[in-house]
Structure 1
């Protein structure tokens, strides 16, 4: 089954699609299942629908800034090698509220190398993938805003690091695809195609995982040793599962040392934590053509249901290791630890309107919700939703406009712990209140290889409290302005 063309927002990098599926057999079908080049980006790039078979579009030297690089790219491709590079530059400013108004800069450069074993030495359906990141700049979220949801997925600790290193093998005409090595889970699991268009990090790997797992789990910019299997029993159904180490940087759950400082090179290859199991079922449907005829404009959708289970040890949110209250003045300060953790989730991406069959003018919705245990997780429930408008700007068919909202609800014991602290006078932060944020963004395809994305975000209950825990002063709602520039070389 040929995949329907991705949303027009992805065509802002029309030539980038040639890089997304660069290694093919003679009949044009993928010899293995290569990652999208956008898999090295945490957010801001919409993804094609998850379908078992992709057809490579025509090669377009204009899709990347360096083109054929003086003939180097075609020569490497004949030997099974593809190198992709992307550069991201962001400027952010806190206009009001938060902790301290003012601007910050962050940026990232990502390089990915893929080697097709069939072209390289005749071994069919094999793919070696290696990627690396150089992350720079400062954190507007941590230094100026004080929010629990980072304004950008690139708002991470500075480092130059290995990202992923794995070997993938296809079986049964690639109906089954297996990867083994150091794997990042958030590029395939828990992903919403439409949500990933937005820049706020919560629309990528949400609080339910980034705050509740060790170092945020195997998610950008970290990976963990493990294995991932993807099976396509029928065209519309994809079943995925993975087993990885649950602690990519080997650190304790609570630490004053940032995860990127504990493992600055990305080569810790930890096996010291628990084991993380994650599974997901994806169903792709065309709602319009199921209830009408083939002349009806296609309204494609992807619905996902998944969950994870972690065998590690996780801290209680209210009680210490002696059974007393963590907020008590005489507490040991060391939480009681519980064995194992779990989470369930659902994701829905659905196109709800198309101007005409084959039209690039579309409107799509997304909803994602998670739920887990409230005793050992700071965030027990989370929900995000939004809408994207593709091709609506006259003369700008490749551009996308989007608006999205999200919030995370605290677990019962985290709420009780905050109340304990207020009652016992051991904290100035006040009661916990779900932080909410809304994002309005516009993604403009300046050229096939250059994307400019101005962005506005507004936060309520910044940091999940009403007061700065250090000073006791009120924290105002935060208004953030920013711009993202992504270049594909």
Structure 2
């Protein structure tokens, strides 16, 4: 009996330690921590959808600090310091991408895409003495061609910058802080994917699904208020007690005011981004963020902190959404006799969770670290073609010898079809209707290396592999060969 107890003692200690870790992670907000306030100033990189430098995987409660040394133009001959004194900040970023479909898809070959983003922010306290106010306006110039649409034909866009060509307004809002900025309210035309549903570690990757996921971009009108579109609405961010942050927003659900199914591209319906549509439904979204540092709380001595952010959220859209199996006469959409017009339901929803967690750090305060991200979504399988989605990946910071500011990442993602979409495809195969293909979840794998050439210039070689391209089995009539894509992203901050 004694020997057995001695043998099981280490396992009991490990189990107890794991139990404490889970308790700390779930109830971390109970322990007192340093005072923190909600951020009112967005990060400069918020205007970029992917391939951005990684902040620590925790909410950034402090306003971003202006540092001209991290920008190509520096002080711009003294112009930037003068503007800063008057509460004005102007940020200019340029992204150039070269992509090549090496094999698979429908037409191997190269493409180019790029964007230039300009953001102007006015701090009202510095400008004219109004405390805790911020005016923000940004614009995009999007150019190039789409490798995803023209060569690969995948469901998940190869790049977050793979968007329709246009020169457009991006965001236009006024933010006001209350109670020492613990409460932060924005009103205007806002982009939800700069704050909601986002994983900070996933923002390293270039594939668009690691930003705003396919389960929202395909299931909402015009993809919802996400890059490069914004929508009229209100966003509220509240930090009731560190380390808990609560966010909510209400926006118009259709930023370009078009039908759910349309032969006209969203960017063509609103090429300038100035439509400011208030018709259609309303989109409600809420998210709770919990900052955890379980390692510091459980460790003894000077142990490396392992920060993380755990998020849960949900959205509800009051608009009308198409049934994925039945038409407006009650027949099957997959039948040759169908009129092709789906029956529409009122309302739609989605729930999600996001985990960003540092797993290992060489020493406290050092950049050498390994982090993980996981994001999962779930929604209704009646109204939505895609009912669930999972992305996960690892990032390795500062592990390349002599390259302390570089980050390497590997990530995978997939999206599962809803039950009615699957049944509709089987109906079409059985009855000989249109779209008679065997649906299979598309999977994509990405390997990327963000190279910090200078503080203002990043080069990012990138490799991606797709299978079940287009969400169709390769053996099906409409099947597409597995695709291998190579690319290079260059991001410059002026």
TM-score under structure 2 normalisation? Answer: 0.90
8 Å Cα contact 1:52-1:238 kept in structure 2:
no
The offset of 1:184, in angstroms, is 0.2
2:206 paired with 1:199: yes
Q: Which moved more, 1:137-146 or 1:70-79?
A: 70-79
Question: Secondary structure of 1:51's match?
Answer: coil
Structure 1 counterpart of 2:417:
410
Which runs of structure 2 are paired with 1:183-262 in the superposition (5 Å)? 183-262=190-269
**Hey, what does 2:428 align to over in structure 1?**
421
Q: Give, in angstroms, the shift of residue 426 of structure 1.
A: 2.3
Q: CA offsets, 1:123-163, max 9 Å, x none?
A: 00000000000000000000000100000000000000000
Judge conservation of contact 2:100–2:486 (CA < 8 Å) in 1: yes
Given candidates 149, 154, 158, the residue that maps to 1:151 is 158
Aligned pairs for 1:450-465 (under 5 A) are 450-465=457-472
Give the secondary-structure state (helix, strand or coil) at the position aligned to 2:192.
coil
Structure 2 CA distance for partners of 1:338 and 1:245, relative to 1, 3 Å: same
Does the CA-based 8 Å contact 1:94-1:102 persist in structure 2?
Answer: yes
CA contact (8 A) 2:461 2:487 kept: yes
Give matches, 1:27-426, under 5 Å: 33-45=40-52, 46-51=54-59, 53-54=61-62, 60-293=67-300, 295-426=302-433
Q: Cα–Cα, structure 1 residues 276 and 473, in superposed 2: closer, same or farther, change >3 Å?
A: closer
Aligned partner of residue 194 in structure 2, secondary structure: coil
Per-residue CA deviation, residues 304-334 of structure 1 (Å, 9 max, x unaligned), is 0000000000000010000001111111111
**Which one of 472, 484, 487 corresponds to residue 479 of structure 1?**
484
SS of 2:236's equivalent? strand
- Unmatched runs of 5 consecutive residues or more in structure 2: 1-35
TM-score scaled by length of structure 1: 0.91
Matches within 5 A, 1:17-28: none
Pairwise CA distance, 1:427: 3.4
Instruction: Indicate how the Cα distance of structure 1 residues 60 and 379 shifts in structure 2: closer, same or farther if over 3 A, else same.
Output: same
Q: Is the 8 A contact 1:32 1:125 kept in 2?
A: no
* CA deviation vs aligned residue, 1:74-109 (integer Å, no higher than 9, x gap): 111111110001000000000111111000000000
Q: CA deviation at 1:273?
A: 1.1
SS in 1 for 2:437: coil
Partner-residue secondary structure (3-state), 1:190: coil
Separation in 2 of the partners of 1:55 and 1:199?
Answer: 26
Separation in structure 2 between the aligned mates of residue 365 and residue 80 of structure 1, nearest angstrom? 37
| SS in structure 1 at match of 2:193 | coil
More helix by share: 2
Offset at 1:219? 0.2
Per-residue CA shift, 1:374-411, capped at 9, x if unaligned?
A: 00001001000000000000110000000000000000
1:185-218 Cα offsets, whole Å, 9 max, x none, are 0000001011111000000000110000000000
Which structure: larger Rg? 2
Partner deviation per Cα, 1:404-445 (whole Å, 9 max, x = no partner): 000000000000111111112223652110000000000000
Q: Distance in 2 between matches of 1:50 and 1:401?
A: 19
The CA deviation string for residues 168-197 of structure 1, in whole angstroms up to 9 with x for no partner, is 000000000000000000000001011111
2:190 touches 2:230 (CA, 8 Å); kept in 1? Answer: yes
2: CA distance between counterparts of 1:56 and 1:447? 20
1:11 alignment partner in structure 2: none
Return the offset for 1:234: 1.2
Moved more, 162-171 or 354-363: 354-363
Count residues in correspondence: 458
Q: Say if 2:325 and 2:420, in contact at 8 Å, map to a contact too.
A: yes
Contact 2:97–2:114 at 8 Å: present in 1 too? Answer: yes
Any conservation in 2 of the 1:32–1:127 contact (CA below 8 Å)? no
Q: Return the alpha-carbon distance in structure 2 between the equivalents of residues 55 and 243 of structure 1.
A: 24
Change (3 A) 1:55 1:333: closer
Q: 1:322 to 1:194 in 2, by over 3 A?
A: same
Offset, 1:114: 0.1
The C-alpha deviation readout for 1:318-362, integer Å capped at 9, x for no partner, is 100000011111111110000000000000001000111122110
Worse overlay, 39-48 or 228-237: 39-48
User: Contact conserved, 1:214 with 1:251, CA < 8 A, in 2?
Assistant: yes
Once residues 411 and 453 of structure 2 are traced to their aligned partners in structure 1, the CA distance between those partners, rounded to angstroms, is 23
Work out whether residues 429 and 467 of structure 1, in 8 Å CA contact, stay in contact via their aligned partners in 2.
Answer: no
SS of 2:127's partner is helix
User: Is 1:433 matched with 2:440?
Assistant: yes
- 1:88–1:107 contact (8 Å) kept in structure 2: yes
Aligned mates of 1:380, 1:47 — CA distance in 2: 31
**1:205-244, CA deviations, whole angstroms, 9 ceiling, x for partnerless residues?**
0011000000000000000000000000112110000000
